[in-house]
Structure 1
């Protein structure tokens, strides 16, 4: 049973990282469209920050379960 839970939690970590990266990209694209300024050089930073937020979300979720 513990092995199955471990695989599931690893899958959820991957989902939170991908979702965080996608959210960072969406936020940057939305700001780029709304402000009419060139923000393409910030795509990498926003995706990276989104990944960090996704990882922090996953860590907080794991700490709350214990």
Structure 2
């Protein structure tokens, strides 16, 4: 693997983590609006779970690319 491929993969990991965190926040904010309940104490948990999902997404993507080649 070349240096540019390694840097690109690291950048994609960061994007996956950030997108997962933003996705978790959006889901929690949407549920907060739809249910009219105070769910602000769950923002940290939802962002953390979103980050975990983003990491898992990235790991499976890298695993699938390794299996195909």
* TM-score, normalisation: structure 1: 0.98
> 5+ residue gaps in structure 2?
none
Q: 1:53 maps to what in 2? A: 53
The CA RMSD measured in Å over matched residues stands at 0.8
For structure 1, the residue ranges without an aligned partner over 5 or more in a row are none
Aligned pair count reads 66
**Which contiguous aligned blocks of 4+ residues in structure 1 show a shift greater than 2 angstroms?**
none
* Secondary structure in 1 matching 2:37: coil
Deviation at 1:36, TM superposition (A): 0.5
TM-score (norm 2): 0.94
